[in-house]
Amino acid sequence: MTSWVVVDAGVFLTAVLVERYTPQAKALLRTWDRQGIQAAAPALFRYEIVAVMRKRMSIAAS
């Protein structure tokens, strides 16, 4: 039986961008991979990515 996890946009972005918690996010994704856990994204994942990026850019600009 395959196990699934729905990946949060913030966790995904933290894993692919250089941030404070990038090592932990990458470790989490590697753990899921080693354990055979399949990652899924919600239908609105792309929009969540855009929203998180906008928020982070706004914080960085202030």
The 3 state secondary structure assigned to the chain is CCCEEECCHHHHHHHHCCCCCHHHHHHHHHHHHHCCCEEECCCCHHHHHHHHHHHHHHHHHC
What number of other Cβ atoms are within 10 A of residue 56's Cβ? Answer: 15
What is the pTM for the complete model shown? 0.81
Residue 1: per-residue pLDDT: 78
CA dihedral 11, 15, 18, 19 (to 10 degrees): 30
59: tokens are 């914080």
Sorted by where each begins, the domain ranges of the chain are: 4-61
Residue 35: per-residue pLDDT: 96
pLDDT tens digits, the chain, 62 residues: what are they? 789 999 999 999 999 999 999 999 999 999 999 999 999 999 999 999 999 899 888 888 88
- Residue positions counted in the chain: 62
